[in-house]
A and B are shown apart, each in its own frame.
Chain A
Amino acid sequence: MYEHDVIVVGAGGAGLRAAIAAHEEGADVALVSKLHPVRSHTGAAEGGINAALRDGDDWTDHAYDTMKGSDYLGDAPAIETLCETSPEEVIQLEHWGMPFSREDDGRVSQRPFGGLSFPRTTYAGAETGHHLLHTMYEQVVKRGIKVYDEFYVMDLAVTDEPDPEDRECHGCVAYDIKSGDVVGFEATNGVVLATGGDGQAFDHTTNAVANTGDGPAMAYRAGAPVEDMEFVQFHPTTLPSTGVLISEGVRGEGGILYNAEGERFMFEGGYANNAGELASRDVVSRAELTEVNEGRGVEDEYVYLDMRHLGEERITDRLENILHLAEDFEGVDGLTEPMPVKPGQHYHMGGIETNEHGETCVSGLYAAGECACVSVHGSNRLGGNALPELIVFGARAGYHAAGRDYGEALVETGPSVAIEHEDDLGAPVEPGALGPADEDVAADGGEAAPDGGELLNPSATVERTAERCRQRVEELKSREGRNHAEIRQKLQKAMTRWVNVFREEEGLKKALEVIKECREEYRNVAVSDPSSTYNTDLIHTIETRNLIDVAETMTLSALARNEFRGAHWRKEHQKRKDDEWLKHTMVQWSDGSPEIYYTDVILEGAEKAYEPKVRSY
């Protein structure tokens, strides 16, 4: 068993920032990551980082834009913390040597981005995320922070009091991918989850193969609620064969979308008569899918994004990286052919419920980055607002876990702040665990001990979890059964079909039925590779279970929310309903059964109160 003051799970932007912060605060901190840090998906971000740095700009304007973008489902204290702190965090990155693009006077450049009232998106070429990730990893190396890379965290070691708000997290358990050993990690101060996105719940995504929602699934099963899981952002221009993102830049420069009949449908189809191709991500995504669904898609699957008319000079000057992307990942020459594109899952606004210090309702358990929901993005994230979230809340979680006192949080967490419980969801099947006997699919973080929950000391709690994980690995490897890939594909297909850009009651119910089938099939899952050396079959099998849990919370929340807000479109409910729905959707795993309840949105900030307005641009 390893022991550290603070354990950070995940080494992307959020995890690295948390580790550096904890180290600065004097803690003995370790990073535990299934990928080597520089392999994390933060490296894929292209666009930039929003920060009010310049004269004429003010963080309160950034806060206003963010609240509007969230469609009034962000919490004001969290949004204000984000926008007020982002400038100092960006300057911190600059001081750590991040190679930002520069102005003539040598200061860092900023550019305009969708939904922002000021050009405040700080960037480093078309590789902002790559530089952010590498710059911070360099600082981790400089500080000699311990990194356990290629260690897959399987579970959290959490005590088992009946009320999650009484529970305590004492560490986690990881599978050493190279050796096959299952090892306990005891954290004397806290565990910070920074496991990133969960796009693999869908079969078409800009997310990496490793983005499997492990953090949210583990926290959820340990009793921490997940928040606003129905809000998933789909990006309208991704390459069909891989999901690689073609940035808004192409449309910004004048790229045009055509359907199979050669119509410029954004205008001709009346989807966005003013903004056309430049309408917001959700509008363009829905337009594309409508075209495809109505038979005007190319090969019934995608539409064309054409930039040929911009001319070779302009394209190679401004959009050179796009040419490479289309060529390398789709085999298409953007200079002579239109590029095929379709909507793909891109970002998850929802996640593990935390307050603005990164704390969940389970004491000692923190979350930051895309896996968390503080909530700053509400129902829709603005481009360039995820990277600041990583560094602002990554740092705060790290400092707080290491002992820094931030005073009382304004955002409250845990089931005790529920304002209302959902008891009329009308789910067609009973969601959640199939029964206490299904060790593999049931809660294994927060269950009451058979003897009624005696108090174990922290190391014993970690050891108990480790033992259970060892058994699970043994069982998965020794038994015969179904291959996980089959179940994963079935789940991904169902999510893309029914919990995608368009959502209807019938479809969401269908999805819940398929998810239930996946759970049943997963009961018989087995790993056919018996090796303990680099067994990716085993890792992927465990990930698939996490995807099932995470997908179910998304679908339940989507079925619950009877309105159209931000990224969440409901066929039967075409309006934003502020009277009824200015509230967060929470799902909490309670003895294996998902409890849905709601909490208040906080529109009252320290600076001002935000009045819900129509989100139009």
Chain B
Amino acid sequence: MSTQVTEQETETEEQSSHQRRRLEEKAERAASRDRMRERAENDLDEADTTFTLKVFRYDPEIPEKEEPRFDTFEVPFTKGMTVLDSLMYARDHYDSSLTFRHSCRQAVCGSDALFVNGTQHLGCKTQVVDLGDDGGVPGEIRVEPLPHQEVVKDLVVDMEHFYDQMEAVEPYFDADELPDGMEEQRQTRENREKIKMSSRCIWCGACMSSCNVAAGNNEYLGPAAINKAYKFAMDEREGENRKQERLEIIEQEHGVWRCQTQFSCTEVCPKDIPLTEHIQELKREAVKNNLKFW
């Protein structure tokens, strides 16, 4: 009898300590949220200019976000602020579930290609003031995930298809023959210059997302993959046999001939790669090549 009483007592004690803990956690969270908000309010008060960030939201798992929607965040402008900075600000001050890829903050990792005010941009390389009129801060910036790609969550898209297309062109150096030991392959400066722009691609996917042909035809290799093929096909170090094989790959049904020279890829590429030109040049190479074997 007496033991039972003690057990019950401990249980209620445990329960109440558990409850207390939950309450403390809740209070902690509320306080944490308040502090962040407060800091944002302070920032907003102190800032000369603020703007509205309108961001696409979607999460297949969360009932309120199952249906895509836009959220708006008020962001204080600071000099030099990029679109990526403003997204980070919104995440760290208003909503920690706001999701987007980013890492380098300097246009080399290719993580944050986004659809900003209706065009493909790298978030980290886009100054907020470049989106306003005449270098002013815009009233509103709209950020969406890259079009024509499946949205995983918020601004994150599924890149698998892009990667598959890259891999389809056998994207690796593969020389017909290599010199021995410590001997280098020679390459002229002109040839290195020729492949220079093509070698700058950071796999951001902006070009593919801007391309109407790719949007309508899932099998089209797309500008980035063809550009990758260009880099190897034009590299004099690889040799004629390999070049031959490369031209065969880009000439297949869903290769270079699909390109309708609309230049949209070239316009959006953050590394200024002349994609359309490269595709055109490969077309010419392919023609020359076929004539040779005629």
List chain A positions with a Cβ less than 8 A from chain B. 35-36, 38-41, 43-44, 87-88, 91, 94-97, 99-108, 125, 127, 129-131, 134-135, 138-139, 141-142, 178, 208-210, 239-245, 325, 328-332, 479-486, 489, 524, 526-537
Asked if A331 contacts B195 (CB within 8 A), the reply is no
Min C-beta distance of B217 to chain A, whole Å: 24
Residue ID in chain B nearest A142 by CB atoms: B172
Most buried by B among A35, A87, A240, A331: A331
Asked if A328 contacts B104 (CB within 8 A), the reply is no
Contact with A along B76-111 (1 / 0, CB 8 A): 001111100100000110001101111111111111
Contact with A along B209-237 (1 / 0, CB 8 A): 00000000000000000000000100101
A253 to B69, CA, bound (A): 51
Asked if A479 contacts B25 (CB within 8 A), the reply is yes
Asked if A481 contacts B102 (CB within 8 A), the reply is no
Min C-beta distance of A181 to chain B, whole Å: 13
Report chain A residues within 8 Å CB of B60. Answer: 533
**Residues 2-59 of B contacting A (Cβ, < 8 Å):** 22, 24-26, 28-29, 31-33, 35-36, 59
CB contact between A96 and one of B22, B31, B103, B173 (< 8 Å): that residue = B173
A526-B127 contact, Cβ under 8 Å, with A38-B110, A104-B189, A485-B96: no
A486-B32 contact, Cβ under 8 Å, with A39-B110, A105-B186: yes
A481-B189 contact, Cβ under 8 Å, with A325-B106, A486-B36, A530-B62: no
Min C-beta distance of A477 to chain B, whole Å: 11
Verify if B125 is at the interface (C-beta below 8 Å from A): yes
A481-B25 contact, Cβ under 8 Å, with A328-B127, A528-B96: yes
Asked if B79 contacts A44 (CB within 8 A), the reply is no
A101 to B184, CA, bound (A): 13
CB contact between B106 and one of A88, A108, A329, A482 (< 8 Å): that residue = A329
Residue ID in chain A nearest B62 by CB atoms: A531
Asked if A537 contacts B109 (CB within 8 A), the reply is no
Subset of 20 A-B contacts with CB under 8 Å: A39-B104, A44-B109, A91-B182, A95-B175, A97-B238, A103-B189, A104-B189, A107-B186, A129-B108, A135-B173, A208-B103, A208-B109, A209-B105, A242-B85, A329-B106, A331-B80, A480-B26, A481-B32, A531-B61, A534-B154
Known contacts A529-B97, A533-B152; can you find 20 more A-B pairs with CB under 8 A? A38-B202, A39-B104, A41-B104, A97-B172, A97-B174, A129-B108, A138-B172, A141-B167, A242-B105, A244-B105, A244-B106, A328-B107, A331-B80, A480-B22, A485-B91, A531-B62, A531-B97, A533-B59, A537-B96, A537-B97
CB contact between A38 and one of B99, B174, B203 (< 8 Å): that residue = B203
Residue ID in chain A nearest B228 by CB atoms: A138
Residue ID in chain A nearest B100 by CB atoms: A536
Asked if B109 contacts A534 (CB within 8 A), the reply is no
Report chain B residues within 8 Å CB of A486. Answer: 32, 35-36
A484 to B28, CA, bound (A): 12
A139-B172 contact, Cβ under 8 Å, with A97-B235, A102-B189: yes
A533-B187 contact, Cβ under 8 Å, with A40-B109, A44-B104, A483-B32: no
A240 to B171, CA, bound (A): 37
Asked if B182 contacts A88 (CB within 8 A), the reply is yes
Min C-beta distance of A352 to chain B, whole Å: 22
**Residues 99-153 of B contacting A (Cβ, < 8 Å):** 99-111, 124-125, 127, 129, 152-153
Report chain A residues within 8 Å CB of B202. Answer: 38, 43, 130
Report chain B residues within 8 Å CB of A101. Answer: 192
Report chain A residues within 8 Å CB of B29. Answer: 480-483, 526, 528
Verify if B288 is at the interface (C-beta below 8 Å from A): no
Report chain B residues within 8 Å CB of A99. Answer: 192, 195-196, 199, 235
Residue ID in chain A nearest B25 by CB atoms: A480
A139 to B232, CA, bound (A): 13
Report chain B residues within 8 Å CB of A243. Answer: 105
Asked if A97 contacts B127 (CB within 8 A), the reply is no
Residue ID in chain B nearest A325 by CB atoms: B106
Instruction: Enumerate the 5 nearest inter-chain pairs by beta-carbon distance, A residue then B residue, closest first.
Output: A97-B173, A106-B186, A529-B97, A138-B172, A241-B80
A240 to B79, CA, bound (A): 10
A100 to B185, CA, bound (A): 11
CB contact between B104 and one of A43, A134, A240 (< 8 Å): that residue = A43
Asked if B80 contacts A330 (CB within 8 A), the reply is yes
